Amino acid sequence: MSKDFIAELHEGEMDLSELYDKSFIVGVNTGERDKCKMLCSTIKGPYDFSNMVERVGKMYTEHQHHAKVIILTTNENELNQFLDEDTTDYLEAHWENIVFEATFESQLTNNKTMKAKILTGSDEDAEER
């Protein structure tokens, strides 16, 4: 945890690209924020990136609870991975912009791109016009 980090005043962007393809569960943080403890009765998920960010943001803005975000894995031998306090604070402070940008970017990269069509006509087609 960076003692001098204030997410609301952070001028730069945080690179969240490492999280885009992961799945998450989210619950209310308990105890120290850089430890892996959460209130089990509040756990929801699994979430994709955008839904996780929205859940974290709403949990803080509507209920003033800090979130604990755990990255899901199916490997039984892996230790739990979770977001640190600074990252969680950043998501809480900027969640609306992050969700908007993620939604906007997915619309741009979605396979809704139209392709140019080239038609082939014969001389008969030209005479009909």
pLDDT at 58: 97
Full residue range of the structural domain in which residue 81 is found? 7-128
Mean pLDDT of the chain: 83
pLDDT tens per residue, range 116-126: 666 656 666 55
Whether 122 is covered by a domain: the verdict is yes
Assess contact for 59 and 28: CB atoms under 8 A: yes
User: Does residue 14 lie within any of the structural domains?
Assistant: yes
pLDDT tens per residue across span 22-79: 999 999 999 898 898 999 999 999 999 999 999 999 999 999 999 999 999 999 999 9
Number of domains observed in the structure of the chain? 1
CA distances from 72 to 12, 45, 89 (A): 28, 10, 20
